[in-house]
Amino acid sequence: MSAEEFRLLRDHVYAHCGILIREDMKFVMERRLWPRLEALGLPNFAAYHRFLRYDTRRNAELDSAVEALTTHETYFFREPVQLKAFTEEVLPLLQQRNAGTRRLRIWSAGCSTGEEAYTIAMLLKESRLFEGWEVEIYGTDISRRVLTTARKAEYGPSSLRATPPEMLSRYFISLGASKVRVRDDIRAWVSFGHLNLLDAESCLLVPRADVVFCRNVMIYFDVPARQRVLQVFSDKLVPGGYLMLGHSENLLNLGAAFELVHLRGDLVYRKPELSWKVER
């Protein structure tokens, strides 16, 4: 991949969804997009760029390109420290806050193949705090292809490598040959949709949420794009709602829309309350 091909593709992807591929990631871009050239039978990256610009199949291909460039590691019960804090400290607060409506909404933004959204559902079930409640978990991702996997809810050993054995027996059905499917009552709480976080119009379709999980997604964005995404999260969170980022991410220099909350087990971000003080 020449420097110019790299820049053309990088700019094209950036214009589409705000994902910025750093200069030092040229090799990674080359490696990840090469299978796409192979699949399309294209001779070089210049031809691939032309394909993305002009071919009638360009929109679907752009999805594939973005997916190849951003496919992030995902598996059940990832980052257990944060999940523990979420379960033990955030969920009781949410139960208290929403006792009147008995409704809980959680958005898993950049949900990839769905492991995070289902993990959240399992944690809610496990907590027994929301029995009889109206629980909705929305998983969204920019890739249509990963959403197909998410809806299917069938997973292999790699996705399950951090799953505690008791959770495996409680919330999955074995399909043999090291494959499992998420149990139907967990699936019933989770729905999935295609969404570009930088597309304000499609974000209108997401309802307001009590918690947004967006772990290891914003690493792909540059600062202006991050700010736009944070604005979306701020708009979509109820006052006092929580934003759960990946452990290597923070909101330094990204504005004042969120405050850092020191839980006993972890640090999380929260949209400021309007005017009252919460007891916990």
Partner 1 sequence: MTTDVPTLQEEERYRAVLGLDPAGAGTLESLISALHDESWRVRRAAAEAARRLPAPGEVALRLVSVLGERGETGARNAAAEALVGLGDVALGPLIRLLGHSDPDQRKFAADILGQLGRRGAENALIQALADPDLNVRVSAVEAVGRVGSEVGARALERLLKEEEPLLRLAVLEALTQLQWPPPLPVVVPLLAEGRLRRSAYRVLGLIPQVAATELISRGLGSELRSVREAALGALGTQASVADTPLRAEIDAQARTSLKRLPNAMEFVSQAFEAEDYYVRAGALVAAGALREPTLAVLVAEAAREDRLLREVIRTLSRLGAEAGRELLGRMAELSLPARAAAAQALLEMVDPSYVPALSALLEWAEDDLRAVAVKALGRTQSPDAVAPLVALLDEPALAGAAVRALGVLSGGCREAVIKALEAVMEQRPVPAAVAAYAHAGGTAALPTLRRLARDADPLLRAAALDAAVDVDPAVGLELARGALVDEAAPVRASGARVVGRVGDASAGSLLRRALQDEDIAVRLAAVEALGEIGAAERATDLEAMVRHPDGALAGRAVRALARMGTIRPEVLRQAARHSDAEVVKAALQAGAVSAEGVALAVEMLGHPGWDVRATAARVLGDAGGRESLEAVQAALASEQDALARRALSDAVERLSRR
Q: Among residues 28, 168, 173, 188, which is the contact residue for partner 1, using CB under 8 A?
A: 28
80 binds partner 1 (CB under 8 A): no
Contact by Cβ (8 Å): 86, 270: no
Q: Which is nearer to partner 1, 50 or 136 (CB)?
A: 50
Task: Answer yes or no: 183 catalytic.
Answer: no
Using alpha carbons, select from 63, 64, 71, 60 the residue that is nearest to residue 28: 71
Burial 2-36 (b: 16+ CB within 10 A, else e): eeebbebbbebbeebbbbbbeeeebeebeebbeeb
57 binds partner 1 (CB under 8 A): no
Q: Which residues on neighbouring strands pair with residue 267, listed in sequence order?
A: 262
- Residues in region 84-113 near partner 1 by CB under 8 A: none
DSSP 129: S
Options 141, 215, 266, 270, the catalytic residue: 141
Contact by Cβ (8 Å): 258, 244: no
Least Cβ distance, residue 136 to partner 1 (angstroms):
25
- Residues in region 117-156 near partner 1 by CB under 8 A: 145, 156
- Residues in region 151-170 near partner 1 by CB under 8 A: 156-158, 161
Least Cβ distance, residue 28 to partner 1 (angstroms):
5
Q: N- to C-terminal Cα distance for the chain?
A: 55
Cα angle 267-272-278, degrees, rounded to a multiple of 5: 85
The residues, any chain, with a CB within 8 Å of residue 127's CB and separated by 6 or more, are 87, 91
The residue range among 116-124, 135-143, 210-218, 254-262 that interacts with partner 1, by the rule CB under 8 A, is 254-262
- Residues in region 205-244 near partner 1 by CB under 8 A: 240
262 binds partner 1 (CB under 8 A): yes
Binding site for partner 1 (CB under 8 A): 3-4, 7-8, 11, 24-25, 27-28, 31-32, 35, 38-41, 50, 53-54, 56, 68, 71-74, 145, 156-158, 161, 178-179, 240, 253, 255-256, 259, 261-262, 272-280
Mind telling me the catalytic residues? 32, 141
